[in-house]
């Protein structure tokens, strides 16, 4: 069985027809029996109110853009990401309805946690494939809920929560506790503890507002996957393996270990390993909009981030007053002007950072439970192209392919994964 996949499809408008290189992209994707992408937007008619929060930018696009992704050949969509509730429940349900109306199989969101976490199945000529999609980046109000005995369940996304603990030296801990006392930052916590509305932090941990600190000689942040979400997903994988040849897990995450955009947070590695231990054939990561390393864990690939497939973030057509207020703009500012104002504050190029426009499309071949071949097609989204042809996938040119290879070889080398270039693709060495 073969699998192809893309990074995030942040699509805002139709593509310019059969542009040069599109057929090569389509041909490579269609090598896969299962062909998977992440839909990084809501699909609405633009007539639903926004949430007070967003995934960074309030994203919505017309239903017709789904035909572009279907035209590339994708037959499985992940929709667990930080934008699914950008336009509250109205936008959420419009998105689900549009996907179902177009006959698109999707995973990662639903009317309740059961629907959001259950795998979607693709019947292929090579066997059955199950896709499970989770996201670790979301406002807590976007998390799907469990059906109770008396109340309906909450719609939302399939969550992968995590906990952060900050290790600081005993000396620094003393300073922090003194700061908390003199500033009154923990007054609310103390009151809620006394009235029973809050539980005491675990022994050995100090809570500074909503942050947990631990006295340790080795300082730094550590993250841990939420055991409830981790075990639920492991069960879903094991159950899916009973009726499908392969299970693929998509993890959407914007969390990083440090300020380096290439870094991978501890709980993501923990979760990816746990999911493969439970029977997943591969892990598809995304969220931070740029490539990260590839790990071969127990002989199975973990793509920690595939970057972008379509990245039309600067082409958003509507934005709520909340966006304007955040950037101190008049409420009636045109969306294009508002996005330009935000870009002007970026210190690293922001949306126009070159690494956001370079990616790969993997083609993974499995023989039974054994991964026997991984090819990567380098692609470019054309950061310098004219507007009509920008932010959409092309086969990378020779210079871009060389950049992608060296960056991915460096990042994957940290996991002991070796790559080589051959013709217009990159091969992952499995031995």
Which tens digit of pLDDT belongs to each residue from 343-368? 888 766 555 668 899 999 999 999 99
- Check whether residue 393 and residue 260 sit in a common domain: yes
Q: Which letter does DSSP use for residue 421 in this model? A: E
pLDDT average, residue stretch 411-420: 97
Q: How far apart are CA 50 and CA 58, in angstroms?
A: 8
Query: What pLDDT, in 10s, does the model give residues 50-60?
Result: 999 999 999 99
Query: What pLDDT, in 10s, does the model give residues 9-45?
Result: 999 999 999 999 999 999 999 999 999 999 999 999 9
pTM of the model: 0.95
Does residue 401 fall inside a structural domain? yes
The percent of residues in the chain predicted with pLDDT above 90, rounded, is 90
What is the structure's pLDDT at 261?
A: 86
Within 252-397, residue ranges assigned H as helices are: 266-277, 321-326, 335-344
Q: ∠ at Cα 27 (248, 72), nearest 5°?
A: 65
Run of H or E including 189: helix 187-195
Does residue 63 fall inside a structural domain? yes
- Check whether residue 252 and residue 214 sit in a common domain: no
Strands 246-252 and 282-286: parallel
Q: Is pLDDT above 60 for 394? A: yes
Query: What pLDDT, in 10s, does the model give residues 212-247?
Result: 999 998 999 999 999 999 999 999 999 999 999 999
Length of the chain: 431
What is the structure's pLDDT at 349?
A: 55
Strands 308-311 and 162-168: unpaired
Instruction: Note whether 294 and 301 are within 8 A (CB).
Output: yes
Closest CA to 40 of 272, 289, 256, 249: 289
Does residue 130 fall inside a structural domain? no
- Check whether residue 287 and residue 392 sit in a common domain: yes
- Check whether residue 195 and residue 325 sit in a common domain: no
- Tell me the pLDDT of the chain averaged across its residues: 95
Beta strands in 180-240 (DSSP E): 206-208, 211-215, 220-225
What is the structure's pLDDT at 351?
A: 56
CA torsion, ordered 384, 390, 395, 399, to nearest 10 deg: 10
- Check whether residue 296 and residue 425 sit in a common domain: yes
Does residue 123 fall inside a structural domain? no
- Check whether residue 217 and residue 252 sit in a common domain: no
- Check whether residue 294 and residue 414 sit in a common domain: yes
- Check whether residue 41 and residue 110 sit in a common domain: yes
Does residue 389 fall inside a structural domain? yes
Query: Of 171, 205, 222, which residue is a domain's last?
Result: 222
What is the structure's pLDDT at 355?
A: 87
Q: How far apart are CA 362 and CA 6, in angstroms?
A: 7
Crossing angle (nearest 10°) for helices 266-277 and 227-241: 30
Instruction: Note whether 295 and 287 are within 8 A (CB).
Output: no
Does residue 230 fall inside a structural domain? no
Provide the b/e sequence for 95-113 (b: ≥16 CB within 10 Å).
Answer: bbebbeeeebbbbbbbbbb
- Check whether residue 336 and residue 416 sit in a common domain: yes
pLDDT average, residue stretch 399-421: 97
How many distinct structural domains can be found in the chain? 2
Question: Confidence band (pLDDT; 50, 70, 90) for 86?
Answer: very high
Query: Of 189, 206, 222, which residue is a domain's last?
Result: 222
Run of H or E including 372: strand 370-380
**Domain, as residue range, for 173:** 163-222
Does residue 420 fall inside a structural domain? yes
- Check whether residue 255 and residue 373 sit in a common domain: yes
Does residue 132 fall inside a structural domain? no
- Check whether residue 424 and residue 296 sit in a common domain: yes
What is the structure's pLDDT at 363?
A: 98
Q: How far apart are CA 360 and CA 301, in angstroms?
A: 14
- Check whether residue 200 and residue 300 sit in a common domain: no
């Amino acid at each position: 069985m073969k699998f192809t996949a893309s990074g995030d499809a942040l699509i805002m408008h139709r593509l310019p027809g059969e542009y040069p290189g599109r057929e090569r992209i389509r041909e490579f994707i269609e090598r896969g029996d299962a062909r998977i992408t992440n839909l990084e937007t809501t699909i609405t008619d633009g007539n639903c109110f926004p949430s007070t929060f967003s995934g960074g930018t309030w994203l919505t696009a017309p239903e017709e853009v789904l035909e572009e992704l279907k035209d590339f050949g994708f037959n499985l969509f992940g929709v667990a990401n930080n934008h699914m509730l950008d336009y509250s429940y109205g936008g959420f349900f419009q998105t689900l309805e549009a996907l179902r109306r177009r006959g698109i199989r999707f995973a990662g969101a639903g009317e309740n946690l059961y629907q959001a976490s259950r795998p979607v199945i693709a019947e292929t000529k090579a066997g059955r494939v199950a896709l499970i999609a989770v996201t670790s980046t979301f406002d807590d109000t976007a998390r799907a809920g469990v059906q109770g005995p008396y109340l309906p369940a909450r719609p939302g996304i399939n969550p992968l929560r995590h906990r952060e603990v900050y290790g600081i030296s005993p000396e620094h801990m003393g300073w922090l506790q003194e700061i908390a006392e003199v500033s009154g930052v923990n007054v609310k916590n103390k009151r809620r503890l006394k009235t029973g509305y809050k539980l005491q932090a675990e022994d050995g941990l100090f809570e500074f507002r909503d942050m947990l600190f631990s006295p340790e000689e080795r300082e730094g942040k550590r993250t841990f996957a939420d055991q409830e979400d981790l075990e639920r997903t492991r069960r879903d994988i094991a159950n899916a393996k009973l009726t499908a040849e392969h299970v693929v897990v998509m993890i959407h995450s914007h969390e990083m270990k440090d300020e380096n955009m290439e870094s991978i947070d501890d709980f993501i590695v923990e979760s990816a390993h746990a999911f493969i231990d439970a029977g997943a054939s591969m892990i598809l990561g995304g969220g931070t909009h740029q490539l990260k390393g590839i790990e071969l864990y127990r002989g199975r690939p973990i793509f920690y981030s595939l970057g972008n497939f379509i990245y039309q973030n600067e082409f958003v057509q509507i934005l709520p007053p909340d966006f304007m207020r955040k950037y101190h703009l008049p409420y009636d500012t045109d969306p294009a002007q508002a996005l330009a104002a935000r870009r002007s504050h970026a210190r690293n190029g922001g949306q126009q950072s070159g690494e956001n426009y370079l990616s790969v499309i993997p083609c993974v071949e499995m023989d039974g439970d054994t991964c026997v071949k991984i090819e990567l097609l380098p692609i470019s989204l054309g950061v310098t192209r004219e507007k009509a042809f920008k932010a959409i996938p092309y086969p990378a040119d020779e210079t871009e392919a060389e950049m992608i290879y060296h960056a991915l070889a460096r990042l994957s080398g940290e996991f002991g994964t070796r790559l080589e270039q051959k013709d217009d693709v990159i091969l992952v060495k499995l031995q």
